[in-house]
Structures are given as C-alpha cells and as structure tokens.
Amino acid sequence: MSATGYYNGEIGPIESMRVPMNDRAVYFGDGCYEAGLAVNGRLFRRDAHFDRFYRSLAGLRIPFALSREALQREIDRCLAASGEPYASVYWQVSRGTDARHHTFPDETVSPNLLITVSPKAPDLSGAPMKLLTVPDVRFFMCNVKTLNLIPNILAIQQAKEAGADEAVLHRDGVVTEGSHTNIHIIRDGALFTHPLDRLILPGVTRGVLLELCRAQGIAVYETPFTIDEMKRADEVLITSSILGIHRASMIDGAPVENRADALYRALVSAYRDCFCGEMRI
C-alpha cells in the first residue's frame, strides 16, 4: 500500500503531498526528526522517542509550539488514515518557510511539521548482518537527530556497494556508531557500548538493550572501543528502532566468530518479549 503523508495538518497519499520550496528543510536541512515502529496505532517506546525529539528541537533552538499531547494527536490521525496494523512512523520539524538566508527567520515564521506512515512489520528475527568500517567524517552534534545526513548516506552507500548491510563509523579507529544504527560488542560476557556524548545518537533501542542486559545480570560498560577490539569481540550487536537487535556475521569481509551465541539469543528473545508485551501482540 501507499505511504500516508502529512504536512501542517493536511493528510493524503504521500505522492500527492507538496512541500514549499522555501521550507528550510529543503535549503538547509534545518530541522530534526524521529522514526519508530507502531503496531495497531501504538508507537513502541513513544516516550523515549518524544524525549529525544524535544531535546533535538531544543538543541537546534526551533520554537516548536505543539505539546507532546498535540503531536501525539497528529501522529494518531496519520496512523488512523493509513489503516496499517504494522507501520514505520517518521516525523520531522523544520524551522519554517522563509526566503533563503542563513540566519533564523523572525518570530512570525512557524515551524513546519511533516509526518509519514509506511507499511512496516517489526523485525524480531535477529538475523545476521554484514558490516563495513568507514571513517566518521560527521560534525560534532551527532547526539541531535538533525536532517543533515549526507555523511551517513555516503557511508551506507559505500557499504551497499561493498556487499555489506551497514557501515560502522569510526574516528581514528575508535568506533562511534553505524550510519543509522548503534553498534555494541560482547566480550567476556559483558556488553560494551560507546558512551552517550556528542559523537553518537542516543538510540532508543540502545536504551532497551541496556535495560535487558541489566535485567539479566549482564555487565554493561559505556566506554569507547576500537575497530580491532570490535573485530576480536565475541559478538557485535547492531540496534535501531526500525531494525531491532541483530548480530554481525562479517566485518570488512572477514567472518565474526559469534562466540556468545547463547547470550545473544537470550537478548534477542528478551527484546522480542519486550516488544510484543508493550505492543500487546
């Protein structure tokens, strides 16, 4: 089925929607976004997504007037219009529509809200993924979920052309995150993940994974690790709101040994239970 689109209150098939050329998202990517999975009209970990979204708005100094409750009502309208029982939900706010100039518009210009709802079943399989390491050439605001994703796009395209599923970004050999995921390793029965700072996005599913580890007594260390440490790890995990939790099968063309199979399968099972329980499926 066609995706459902929304722009400043208007809803329709995405092919029929129009965005003004002077929307600052078009000129500058001047905005932020969120994306998550919904089942029967309910967004998984909605509060965590909303927390991150409003932090991103604050980080970009965008004066978005809608409250969480009002934003939820607009998302609900889109979900109802789509009629999809399983869907991915994307929403973004740009700084507004104004003539092109680098400084902020004046206070009479209101931010623009765009939402899309597309058919998407949750992936709870934990299927393996192939990874390719790529230098991280992004700026130092990776914790803000901005629309400026050109380095990420170039990285995932490089991975695709190399036959990989995801790019692992690194700064001078220290792993930060994936092009659209968080990256973690398991070593000696413990989970290691990059700390929350301006170099990575605070992933919602990253947070779920840490909850699951701690609930099962698995030690969690929020500390940087290198490409070499990743390649020697017992497991390499990939997480995102759309993908869920997966393991790496190859990195840069070399196989990953997957020496912590039982632990990995326990985490995937726990994530499946968490998702299905919260979504009531």
Q: What whole-number distance in Å separates Cα of residue 73 and Cα of residue 48?
A: 17
Q: Are 235 and 185 in contact (CB under 8 A)?
A: yes
Q: What whole-number distance in Å separates Cα of residue 200 and Cα of residue 178?
A: 9
Residue 127 — very low, low, confident or very high, per pLDDT cuts 50/70/90? very high
* Mean pLDDT for all residues in the chain: 97
In this predicted structure, the answer to whether residue 130 has a pLDDT above a threshold of 90 is: yes
Per-residue pLDDT tens over the stretch 145-175: 999 999 999 999 999 999 999 999 999 999 9
The pLDDT assigned to 274 comes to: 98
Q: Are 151 and 111 in contact (CB under 8 A)?
A: no
**DSSP, residue by residue, the chain:** -PPEEEETTEEEEGGG----TTBHHHHH--EEEEEEEEETTEETTHHHHHHHHHHHHHHHT------HHHHHHHHHHHHHHH--SEEEEEEEEES-B--S-SSPP-TTPPPEEEEEEEE-----S---EEEEEEE----S-TTS-BS--HHHHHHHHHHHHTT-SEEEEEETTEEEEESSSEEEEEETTEEEE--SSTTS---HHHHHHHHHHHHTT--EEE---BHHHHHHSSEEEEEETTTEEEEEEEETTEE-----HHHHHHHHHHHHHHHHHHHT-
Mean pLDDT over 34-38 rounds to 98
Residue 2 — very low, low, confident or very high, per pLDDT cuts 50/70/90? confident
Per-residue pLDDT tens over the stretch 51-105: 999 999 999 999 999 999 999 999 999 999 999 999 999 999 999 999 999 999 9
Please identify every residue annotated as catalytic. 145
In this predicted structure, the answer to whether residue 1 has a pLDDT above a threshold of 90 is: no
Q: What whole-number distance in Å separates Cα of residue 273 and Cα of residue 137?
A: 37
CA distances from 241 to 85, 90, 174 (A): 17, 11, 23
In this predicted structure, the answer to whether residue 277 has a pLDDT above a threshold of 70 is: yes
Which amino acid makes up residue 120?
Answer: K
Task: Output the CA torsion sign for 91, 93, 98, 99.
Answer: negative
In this predicted structure, the answer to whether residue 226 has a pLDDT above a threshold of 80 is: yes
Q: What whole-number distance in Å separates Cα of residue 196 and Cα of residue 209?
A: 14
| Phi, psi (deg, nearest 5) at residue 20 | -60, 145
Say what percent of the chain tops pLDDT 70.
Answer: 100
In this predicted structure, the answer to whether residue 184 has a pLDDT above a threshold of 90 is: yes
Close Cβ partners of 168 (under 8 Å, ≥ 6 residues apart): 131, 132, 133, 134, 175, 177, 178, 183, 227, 230, 251
